[in-house]
Chains A and B, each alone.
Chain A
Amino acid sequence: MIKLLTGNDLLTGDVLWWDGAGWSLNLADAVAVEGDALLAKVIAEERINDPALIDAELTPHGPRPRTMRERIRGTGPTVRLDLNRMPA
């Protein structure tokens, strides 16, 4: 199990994933995060809402969040696939 850093963009509310150098809209770009230091920095900067470290596992298709909630955050509403930013 790894940890991913995620949150919502202050301006748009978009779901963001930490990709090692910055924020990505694509869950597939997310990288494992070690420790709490980065989360503390993000919280202090006040530009990302609801920042959190979430559990995920690495799969051949990329990181897969442990919970259904985070998987849906990663893909978008399952009932409006036309609105999703990326394939489910």
Chain B
Amino acid sequence: MYRYDEYDQAIVDARVAEFRDQVARRLANEITEDQFKPLRLMNGLYLQLHAYMLRVAVPYGTLSGTQLHALAHIARKYDRGYGHFTTRQNIQYNWIKLAEAPDLLAELAAVEMHAIQTSGNCIRNISSDQFAGAAADELADPRPYAELLRQWSSFHPEFSFLPRKFKIAVTASDTDRAAIQLHDIGLQLVDRDGVRGFKVWVGGGMGRTPMIGHVVREFIPASQYLSYCEAILRVYNRYGRRDNIYKARIKILVHELGAEEFTRQVEAEWALLEPLALDAPAAEYARIVAQFAEPAYDAAASDQLDLADPGFALWVKQNVHPHKRPSYAIATISLKPAGGIPGDASADQMDLIADLAARYAHDEIRVTHSQNLVLAHVRKADLHALWTALDGAGLATANLDLVTDIIACPGLDYCALANARSIPVAQQIAARFADLDRQHDIGELKIKISGCINACGHHHAGHIGILGVDKKGEEAYQLLLGGSGAEDTSLAKILGPGFTEAGIVDAVEKVIDRYRSVRTGPSERFLDTYRRVGADPFKEAVYG
């Protein structure tokens, strides 16, 4: 994986020193909170309901074992022994003290991590496919391109004060595991006539006004994707709605201009940029690619797998994916145990997973936007030992993409923006469907819960989405059906009137019961059934 060079390290160290000075001045009351707040937000430090929250960037979701150990250490030393993995493949700590934040950031910098640009109206953490570099179905590892984007977008002087935040995702497979069509820019690596390049979507997003991105370029050569992104950002920076925060995302600009006119403007801008040779030199790209070299695979490893142990077999069926090498596999560690908090991991669990990554997975861990962790390069021969160790720590729940593998934002239990709690709803649904046989009978079903319209829980992309709203100071929940963040992207639609906390769990169960009665068979996913029969049978089941 990518290692900082002297410039990366110097930049991050300098930022820590700068923030240390800013914190000291704030604590001495030399600057006001109004002056300080944008400075701390630029370093990922929010003030939430109960304490400061620090959001740490995990570039394209990739961590080394050393980094995960450091995150565990930080959870113990500076927080309350745990962290929360997010839908942007980052990690958040919920109980940070302002005076200790500079020391924390210094410890992060020592393992080549930071919290820069995890807040504010700038280009946020570049996200990617959690199976990158390992997936059997990918064209090539997309992470070198994501890393170049990270370097290009970090402290980009022109794009540090955009109209609104900006999110980019990069994948290299027809199977979309990164929700690229729901990003401000989505990039899919493709080949055309022997040339490698990207298909480019712009203007997708969730939040208050969910929209699916438009294809603005079927193909841009990979040697020019940075300057093309620069052109997109320039058009957005120039014309994005700074007058209205609710209309400031690029999706609104694309919608208001129309995709055709927006594309015309981007092409015109790019025509000006292209002669300036802003793209990375081939040698720099080659330097980065070399750092994503394949691990030293065991050429003698067997591609056989003994599935005699039924618990292990179930986990393999649900949580293990094909690797590009037949003797290896990709293992997803569910952070959704029964009764647990989606995405939370204790310091001890982080240390264990880092140890297992060192022993079985070439010392590398991935964070997924579904709030799980992945070991991407595991010998099939080691899978049982890995599963045994995970099972002993309560980390072998075989529920990937099933009804209890729920995305949930922190919600009103932590978040200052939230209107309603998300986590308790996820826990109650998980408890209602705790029976694994029932889960496997239901099959793939992605429930996504947001505690407010900002949609950090991706409710618009849920096969079943739940949105928490405020009703005169009390919590209420809307039910949405039919969303997808995959290659068949669609936006979920509200089914009808909202519910109380108890009512929403009952409503979800009624929807699922109706699905089981109208599906053509177990192989028809909930989403496919919904698309075939429409909303009416589910309305009747819930409200009839």
A residues adjacent to B (C-beta < 8 A): 8, 10-15, 46-47, 49-50, 66-69, 72-73, 76-80, 83
Contacts and interface: CB of A to CB of B under 8 A. Distances in A.
B473 interface: yes
Contacts of B33: 10, 46, 49
A78 B424 contact: yes
A62 B99 CA distance: 33
16 contacts: A13-B51, A13-B52, A14-B51, A46-B29, A46-B33, A47-B29, A68-B412, A68-B473, A68-B474, A72-B49, A72-B412, A72-B413, A77-B414, A78-B424, A79-B413, A83-B95
Q: 6 closest pairs, A vs B, by CB?
A: A67-B473, A13-B51, A77-B413, A13-B52, A79-B423, A12-B97
A85 B11 CA distance: 39
B80 interface: yes
Interface in B84-124: 95-99
For A10, A73, A77, the residue with the greatest tally of chain B CB atoms inside 10 Å of its CB is: A77
Contacts of A72: 49, 412-413, 421
A76 B50 contact: yes
Interface of B: 26-27, 29, 32-33, 47-52, 80, 95-99, 341, 412-414, 418-421, 423-424, 427, 470, 473-475
A72 B410 CA distance: 13
A8 B52 CA distance: 9
A66 B49 contact: no
Contact of A14 (B50, B414, B424): B50
Nearest to B52: A13
A50 B49 CA distance: 10
Contact of B49 (A10, A46, A69, A79): A69
A22 B50 CA distance: 19
Contacts of A12: 51-52, 97-98
Given A72-B412, A83-B80, 12 more contacts: A10-B33, A13-B97, A13-B98, A15-B49, A49-B33, A49-B47, A68-B473, A69-B49, A73-B50, A77-B50, A77-B413, A79-B341
A46 to B, nearest CB: 6
A66 B99 CA distance: 32
Contacts of B95: 13, 83
B98 A78 contact: no
Contacts, number: 71
B51 A11 contact: no
Contacts of B421: 72, 78-79
A80 B84 CA distance: 13
Contact of B99 (A11, A46, A50, A83): A11
B98 A11 contact: yes
Contacts of A80: 341, 413
A54 B240 CA distance: 36
A83 B80 CA distance: 8
Contacts of B412: 68-69, 72
B47 A13 contact: yes
B27 A11 contact: yes
Nearest to B26: A10
A87 B2 CA distance: 47
B203 to A, nearest CB: 33
A67 B472 CA distance: 8
A88 to B, nearest CB: 12
- Among B33, B423, B424, the one with the most A-chain Cβ atoms within 10 Å of its Cβ is B33
Contacts of B473: 66-69
A11 B29 CA distance: 12
Contacts of B418: 69
Contacts of A77: 50, 413-414
A8 B97 contact: no
A80 B537 CA distance: 38
Contacts of A69: 49, 412, 418-419, 473
